[in-house]
Amino acid sequence: MRILTLITGDYSQRFVENLNLHAPAKWTMNTWQTPKALPIVLDYPEDYVPESFPSADLILSLAELPGVAEMIPEIARRSKAKAVIAPIDNQAWLPFGLARQLRGWLADIDVFCVTPMPFCSLTETHYNALRQRTAYEHPLIQEFAHHFGAPGFDIKVDKRTNRISQVEITRDACCGCARFTADKLKDTPIEDSIGQAGLHHHHYPCQASMGIDPLYGDTLLHISGNIMKDSLQEAFGEDLPVSYVKPDGYVGD
């Protein structure tokens, strides 16, 4: 698979570095540095992109300013891409309404697009669009999401010590946060692992916004952290102890 990644600043560069280190060897990676400033309205988006791009199957837009979304259809034409992943990790960079328009513009030229909100909600079958899961089918995006998207873990527990003995990544977040968290969790007591995972996620330079998102009523950083913790809980299965809280004044049977 040939991937063309659109980046603007340091955050998106971190994604590219993680992809270069851990993407399948058969993938071809190319990167285009977008302009760092654009007019509020692009009357002619084609004027802001190069005459040609390396041929691509999939465009991954990690741009950090909204005007780039208006350029993506032209970039898709010039690169001959058939699919686009344009995550919403910050509505200052890609507003929800503009993402909806982008999907429509691309559909008009027969290019499939997903806009996961946040990026780490993407799986091989669905992604978060606001508070709802949106199902999709497209082989290129599914191939990408097999390796990068919603974190996936395979956890082994030492039954003698009730500590994590091994954590393997079955799917990393594109930014590398899942791999970072997995490396930190080895030898952690089971009962502390979910809380510790949340802390490690918070310490990692996540791209998701720390401001309250008006559509979620929460920060996308918090949503991303919950996705991480939910993935860990699923990986533990029955190995994760269940805690019960007894309210004051409660009298049991």
Report pLDDT for 58: 98
Report pLDDT for 141: 98
The pair of three-digit structure tokens given for residue 248, joined into one six-digit string:
């004051």
Domain boundaries, the chain: 2-147, 152-239
In single-letter form, the type of residue at position 106 comes to: L
CA separation for the pair 217, 79 (Å, rounded): 37
pTM of the model: 0.89
Report pLDDT for 241: 57
> What are the distances in angstroms from CA 17 to CA 12, 130, 174?
9, 28, 10
User: What is the phi/psi pair of residue 140, to 5°?
Assistant: -70, -45
Tens of pLDDT, residue by residue, the chain (253 residues): 999 999 997 778 889 999 999 999 999 999 999 998 887 777 788 888 899 999 999 999 999 998 999 999 999 999 999 999 999 999 989 999 999 999 999 999 999 999 999 999 999 999 998 778 999 999 999 999 999 999 999 999 988 998 999 999 999 999 999 999 999 998 899 888 888 888 888 888 777 888 888 888 888 888 888 898 898 888 887 666 555 444 554 445 4
- Rounded CA Rg of the chain: 20
CATH 2.60.40, domain 2-147, yes or no = no
Closest C-alpha among 132, 114, 127, 102 to residue 215: 132
Report pLDDT for 251: 45
Under 8 Å between Cβ of 201 and 195? no
Report pLDDT for 250: 42
